Amino acid sequence: MGSHMECSSDESSELSDADIDDYAEKAYTDLKSGKLVARFGADRFRCPFCPGKKKQDYRYNELLQHAIGVGASNRAAKVKANHQALASHLKTDHADAAGSLPPRQAEALINPPKPVQDQELFVWPWMGILANVPVEQTQRGGAIVMQQLAGYKPIRFNAVHCPDGGYTGFAIVRFNKDWIGFKDALGFHNTYKSHHLGKTDWEANKSDKYMFAWLAKEEDYKADDPVGKFLSENGDLKTVAELQQEMSRKTDTLITSLTSQISAKSKYLMELECKCNQMDLALQRAMEDNDSLDQRYNEEMRKMQSTAREHSLKIFHETDQLRKQLDEKENDIRRRSKQLSEIVAQTDMERRKLENERKKE
């Protein structure tokens, strides 16, 4: 089997909607000719377009649901075309595996969502009802079913049980509460309806060979059965108009709250800005004052240094003058002391001479 048929390649392929029918026809031809094999037993099937999936052993109705779901999903156009071809191949060439098909089952067109009546009551949060869900598919949170419905983005699966704990065969899938979830729920509803596997088909046939599904509404909610009880315990009845008004009110309330918060934060930011400006001004003044103080300090230091230098020079000069005066006085004293010594010596000589003369007389 060529790699161009694998899901990994298809996911990245781009194919215009106008070419989907042609590609689906080619894929159907490959399936019908046996080039691609979907059946390998009396009631054993596989998806030739999803070789990477862990589950490779389907029953007829399981593979049909898989093909229908992927074919109507938001996946790449080539993936959708391949699975639409697989759904046609199963219903046209392998119908014996399911016995007799429901009336008009061969039609595979998907109708666009019809306008919703303003007064039509839906179960909200949006819920889809599944009938004829095999008990083994309810295991692990309905992982198999959730995978089959992945294109509609369900967020939760619940099997419905009787008061005594027995399984009813019904299950509920829930969708997101917003309008995107509603769009997904309508797509889910219309896909099964277009394949004649919707609520009216279930009520008309009660066939246990296929899984039927529809969007939960007022009649289901008010039904006196386990499904109705589950819906009433987990949801409310609302019209689209009511939800629009409610969401509009919530939006208005949110906008009012956000506007109030924005106003309060804007006021707070203005106050902060004012405080910042005041702090900037105070800092600027402090810096100017500091510069002035630095300037005065430096000037005072220069004056003190100049005065100290002048004083030191004066002291040095005075000390030098005093030293010179002291030296002169010392010299004068030495000179006078010498003169005095000479006078004393002369006096002694004169005295001795006089004494000698006296002795001679």
Average pLDDT over residues 155-183: 92
3-state secondary structure of 172: strand
Q: What superfamily does domain 108-234 belong to in CATH?
A: XS domain (3.30.70.2890)
Alpha helices in 173-239 (DSSP H): 179-194, 199-205, 218-222, 226-234
Residues 6 or more apart in contact with residue 57 via CB below 8 angstroms: 44, 45, 46
Query: Where in the sequence of the chain do the CATH 3.30.70.2890 domains occur?
Result: 108-234
pLDDT digits (tens, 9 = 90+) for 95-142: 777 654 444 333 333 333 444 455 789 999 999 999 999 999 889 989
**Contact status, residue 127 vs residue 174, Cβ threshold 8 Å:** yes
Distance CA 285, CA 330 (A): 66
Q: Name the E strands within the chain.
A: 39-41, 44-45, 121-124, 127-131, 156-161, 167-174, 212-215, 236-239
Question: Residue 165: left (phi > 0), alpha (psi -120 to 50), or beta?
Answer: left
**pLDDT for 184-237, tens place per residue?**
999 999 999 999 999 998 988 877 778 899 999 999 999 999 999 999 999 999
pLDDT-derived band at 15 (thresholds 50, 70, 90) equals: low
- Predicted model pTM: 0.46
Distance CA 266, CA 259 (A): 10
Give the SS3 label for residue 139: helix
